[in-house]
A and B are shown apart, each in its own frame.
Chain A
């Protein structure tokens, strides 16, 4: 049986699907759901994502069949047909994507039968059954990708060795998704590849449609987007690799080596690029030489959040910044196989660090793990605790940070106490940004 969750950091499959679709250029989600679903999810999608907003078509602009009791008794297919027909007249998009909520699944509406009637029209109308009780936001992301790969991406028998696709950075759930995708695309460009990221700045639906000609799919996650990669491989015969989201020198250098190797890039070329990037990276960190050491800026850290970020930040703190990220709390719902893959992404640290990693979905549990890892003072004179400490997590760790009197940097979802526009934490440049942000916290109260 699945568990009850105290303050979950994700919404349902429908929410994840909406967030994913509305992050595609000029795509219009059509909700076939109760009237309240879109409004309920809006705050999680935009307000909790660093005020990401609704993109082109989000929030209350989302078309929705708004089924209520009457439709639930008599069936909602007629209402959906009418809604799609009129959406095509009113809403200005290039791709329309029907997603479903719990109620219409429970009454047995066949959305595919309805969308099929629009198949020969000028505008593409896709559908996915994003039934909320079958999974959370990440599942919705997978379903949308799978549907796009099966039904929207065009067959391309001839592959282009210079083009790759990259995903696994989940729009909204990764609050810095847009910036991160841009950074990774830029790095691959330096390796000599054009990259479709689907959701990044400057992407078009044409890129997505033609992505079948890519020679490799790169999933920057050990947890998310992998099922979609299997579908892509099955339908379009493009292999995939999975690898962790990189932040900072150590993470990103590993990323470049793994991707480069998979793409058959000459090792010398890869190492040359890494050296160049390091030449730009370390002179910035060099500026910290005095302050880091004069003021003893090393910190213990607790890292809380999704598997993509927790591993990336842990490696950055451990190997780039020389900190002690000893406690990691992963808050997503993961299957056993996913957990194993994720666990494998923590390790082989230059520092030799062996962090304690726990899986727990409940927000208030974090306090308990910190107390267990750094036992509480029982009134003893000589005592070593979570000090000096820093928490890197989400806005939900605000109370916990207050309780331990340590600074908090919100990096993982949800974030409602920062505004995020094009900031990125991925790559070498993202590592510098993370160093700026986390060390600013340390100096802010001097």
Chain B
């Protein structure tokens, strides 16, 4: 992988042949995916979803001491408004002196669309510098400037000479892709090109004595970059740091909630540790290519099996397998004892999960381990990383090949139809689709949370206690189920949930 020299990264449809419309079973999906003909399917009726600008902001708007410039008409980035007054709370967990979200919208008007938005972009960046003196200015490019052909990179290169903040262009025009996860590539692309590595033009290089250098290299040899995601809570981070420290490793956490300076020496690390391939493959592969840093990418440490796999992969890199096995044995013995009562409680209960491919497959494994039967999954998209995980999941969970697998971000009409047919005891969902399931009366466990723990061994116990609590009284959602109605015709529920997925192109590809 080597896209870093380009100004703009490729979209995931092209880079990973990612699929965004599918309906079948886990077994079908695994087979069809291996044939590589899923990416061309589409929907003839669709509901809205997020875009890569939206997700880019979700991922990196938490950066401390930074100002975002959204180069767009006034509505883009509108999702930030709901976090405007509250995000500071989460930032403060990482740094007491953090300030809240700050962003500037270039407010492109009809005149700008005709005559170009470049002057406004300049104005916005200079205003960000003048008013806030941030350490970095993150510039997000939207659909309109892309279509009118504003020379974003040219202007920002020029502006970089006038401002002291590091300028980071993030090209994330919504219309370019239906796979929102392309956002991760866009953000990392901008960060790697503009923040990683010391800026020797402004700061003199650090000079070390040979002894200091030896000590420094020793430290680097035990340092890992732990890549977090916007949906990861501070408690999640603390649990993973606890486990990595137990293996005598130093941990640097990037990129959500980081400070721009945290990236300067990000290449001084022995290993990049991802918790999600959907999130990080672009970053870790480029870091390997540019700086020779290897990576761990296979799975997210959710549930016992996947936390063990995650730790073993890391340990194997450092040759400390024995130490890791001891840690795993001690942790799992303690945890298994603690979750024993829940297994009896959850035995025979059923669940349905929806969200990112990596997160739902690992969470499904966790719930299976707690005694649940998994009736179905809905992934936001599906690609080669999902393919590997799905295979491992089907090996770990007996009879899972018959469970439903639906692919599509948003598309809650398909979800509503599916739920009316398979009626699980528990619904586990990504934000954005839980309200819909709630109106059908299901108890709901959110797939992630900014204030809760999901990861590592502690995460397993926390998930078990919360699921137990939620199942104990689902009256709120039951009341909604009885007294509200989703905006679909009764006739819709009688149809096949995948009626509006058009996979004629993939069928043609399969035959051809």
Query: Using a CB–CB distance below 8 Å, which chain A residues touch chain B?
Result: 1-15, 28, 31, 34-48, 53-54, 56-57, 59-69, 72, 82-83, 86-87, 89-93, 102-103, 106, 131-134, 136-137, 363-364, 394-399, 410, 414, 416-417
Contact = CB atoms under 8 A, between A and B. Distances in A.
9 contacts: A7-B81, A13-B75, A15-B78, A39-B410, A42-B79, A43-B81, A47-B82, A69-B177, A397-B85
Interface string B165-179: 000000000111110
Given A39-B51, A82-B44, A133-B73, A4 B86 contact: no
Interface string B147-159: 1100000000000
Given A36-B49, A60-B47, A132-B75, A106 B85 contact: no
A1 B163 CA distance: 24
Interface string B389-432: 00000000000000000000011110000000000000000001
B214 interface: no
A68 B21 CA distance: 15
A396 B44 contact: no
B87 to A, nearest CB: 10
Contacts of B500: 86, 90
Interface in B434-451: 435-436
The 8 closest A-B pairs by CB, nearest first: A36-B51, A38-B48, A12-B75, A47-B82, A395-B85, A39-B50, A86-B45, A43-B79
A324 to B, nearest CB: 25
B120 interface: yes
A39 B100 contact: no
Contacts of B132: 364
B131 A6 contact: yes
B70 to A, nearest CB: 10
A44 B79 contact: yes
Given A48-B82, A60-B436, A11 B51 contact: no
B346 interface: no
B50 A40 contact: yes
Contact of B84 (A61, A66, A82, A395): A395
Contacts of B432: 39, 42, 59-60
Given A2-B112, A3-B107, A68-B178, A11 B75 contact: yes
A64 B175 CA distance: 13
Contacts of A134: 109-110
A283 B500 CA distance: 61
Given A64-B47, A66-B49, A102-B144, A2 B84 contact: no
B105 interface: yes
Interface in B334-378: none
B46 to A, nearest CB: 5
Given A4-B107, A92-B487, A38 B49 contact: yes
A91 B488 contact: yes
Contacts of B123: 4
B306 interface: no
B113 A39 contact: no
Contacts of A60: 47-49, 410-412, 432-433, 436
Nearest to B69: A4
Given A5-B104, A66-B178, A364-B102, A417 B86 contact: yes
A327 to B, nearest CB: 20
A72 B107 contact: no
A41 B45 contact: no
**Residue of A42, A60, A89 with most partner-chain B CB within 10 A:** A60
Given A42-B432, A47-B81, 16 more contacts: A5-B104, A8-B105, A12-B78, A35-B174, A40-B77, A43-B83, A68-B176, A68-B177, A83-B44, A89-B489, A89-B491, A90-B500, A102-B143, A133-B112, A133-B113, A136-B75
Contact of A416 (B77, B82, B411): B82
A132 B46 CA distance: 21
Contact of B108 (A28, A69, A72, A133): A133
B436 A48 contact: no
A62 B144 contact: no
B86 A395 contact: yes
A400 to B, nearest CB: 10
A8 to B, nearest CB: 5
A43 B61 CA distance: 15
B120 A1 contact: yes
A86 B488 CA distance: 12
Contact of A106 (B50, B53, B131, B144): B144
B181 to A, nearest CB: 12
Interface string B26-63: 00000000000000000111111111111000000000
Nearest to B117: A133
Contacts of B127: 4, 6
B34 to A, nearest CB: 26
B76 interface: yes
A103 B80 contact: no
Contacts of A86: 44-45, 500
Contact of B413 (A46, A61, A394, A396): A61
A67 B176 CA distance: 9
Nearest to A84: B45
A36 B53 contact: yes
B22 interface: no
B390 to A, nearest CB: 24
Contact of A398 (B85, B119, B131, B413): B85
Given A35-B178, A69-B175, A416-B85, A133 B110 contact: yes
Contacts of A53: 435
B433 to A, nearest CB: 6
A156 B365 CA distance: 63
A157 B53 CA distance: 50
B48 A62 contact: yes
Contacts of B246: none
Most buried by B among A64, A66, A86, A410: A66
Nearest to A12: B75
Given A35-B174, A416-B85, A1 B49 contact: no
A322 B199 CA distance: 58
Contact of A40 (B79, B88, B112, B433): B79
B54 A90 contact: no
Nearest to B126: A4
B47 A63 contact: yes
Given A12-B75, A89-B489, A92-B488, A39 B48 contact: yes
Interface in B174-202: 174-178, 180
A12 B74 contact: yes
A440 B144 CA distance: 46
Contacts of B99: 399
B205 interface: no
B287 interface: no
B51 A7 contact: no
Interface in B472-504: 485-492, 500
Contact of B175 (A11, A43, A103): A103
Contacts of B45: 63, 82-83, 86-87, 89-90
A12 B49 CA distance: 17
